[in-house]
């Protein structure tokens, strides 16, 4: 695989990103199999230091879908099966998330059908790029190329989706970041928010740093104003 062309969303270095409380530990690779997938599976397991369970595309079942806090990595090269797989995953756990790999070309209408899509990797992405992206996704940090984000925004705008969803899609806020934004409305200092959310004050600061960059504000006051406008 060659170097990725699409630049992912800017995020903090992995050494400064705190371990989140609901970090994902159960990982499934949904594909048709083959030598290429065997190589990919072995490389990814070593790179992210986690076990990845291989599942044939035709072997998805209800018991598997009930797994909470699971990551489903979908090999997008078998496009003829994608609709069926997306529909099957749509009835699974609300806490599970999805990542697409080996994406050559895809219409935006095809992307929005995936439940909790957190990552999208092209056929030209290197194994190292995919590995680094998956490390972020396991912390529930979105890893979507900028062109995908722009297409999502345009889709929402053209289809009358409300402003809140447009803005959240544009900034790719995580569930924890949304929660912290809600708490900002109280006007309490960081150490109070940390106690309320049962995390360290440094974790709050790191989350706020990410939030400010994503919603394009410079300080706490502007973040509160943004929250009041878009998250009533």
pLDDT in tens, 138-155: 988 888 887 777 777 677
CATH code, domain with 220? 1.10.10.10
DSSP 3-state assignment of 69?
Answer: coil
Q: How many domains does the chain have?
A: 2
pLDDT attached to residue 100: 94
Q: pTM of the predicted model, to two decimals?
A: 0.61
* pLDDT tens-digit map of 4-54: 344 343 333 334 344 444 578 899 999 987 788 889 999 999 999 999 999
- Range of 185's domain? 173-230
| Tally of residues, the chain | 232
Do 144 and 88 lie in one domain? The reply is yes
Partners of 70 in the beta sheet? Answer: 26
Residue 8: DSSP 8-state: B
Q: DSSP per residue over 125-194, as a string?
A: --HHHHHHHHHHHTTT--B-BHHHHHHHHHHHHHTT--HHHHHHHHHT--HHHHHHHHHHTT---HHHHH
Of 103, 120, 152, which closes a domain? 152
Residue 166 has pLDDT above 60, yes or no: no
Closest to 154 in 3D by CA, of 118, 120, 108: 108
Residue 19: DSSP 8-state: P
pLDDT higher for 129 or 116?
129
């Amino acid at each position: 695989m060659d170097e990725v062309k699409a630049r992912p969303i800017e995020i903090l270095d992995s050494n400064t990103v705190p371990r989140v409380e609901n970090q994902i530990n159960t990982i499934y690779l949904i594909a048709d199999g083959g030598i290429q997938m065997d190589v990919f599976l072995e490389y990814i397991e070593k790179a992210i230091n986690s076990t990845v369970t291989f599942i044939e595309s035709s072997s998805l079942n209800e018991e598997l879908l009930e797994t909470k806090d699971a990551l489903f990595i979908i090999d997008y090269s078998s496009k003829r099966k994608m609709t069926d797989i997306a529909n099957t995953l749509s009835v699974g756990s609300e806490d599970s998330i999805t990542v697409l790999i080996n994406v050559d070309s895809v219409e935006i209408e095809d992307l929005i059908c995936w439940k909790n899509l957190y990552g999208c990797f092209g056929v030209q992405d290197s194994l190292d790029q995919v590995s680094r992206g998956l490390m972020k996704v396991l912390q529930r940090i979105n890893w979507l190329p900028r062109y995908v984000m722009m297409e999502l925004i345009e889709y929402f705008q053209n289809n009358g989706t409300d402003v809140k969803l447009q803005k959240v899609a544009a900034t790719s806020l995580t569930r924890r970041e949304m929660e912290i934004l809600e708490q900002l409305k109280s006007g309490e200092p960081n150490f109070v928010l940390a106690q309320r959310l049962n995390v360290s004050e440094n974790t709050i600061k790191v989350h706020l740093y990410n939030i400010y960059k994503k919603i394009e504000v410079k300080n706490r006051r502007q973040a509160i104003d943004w929250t009041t406008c878009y998250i009533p």
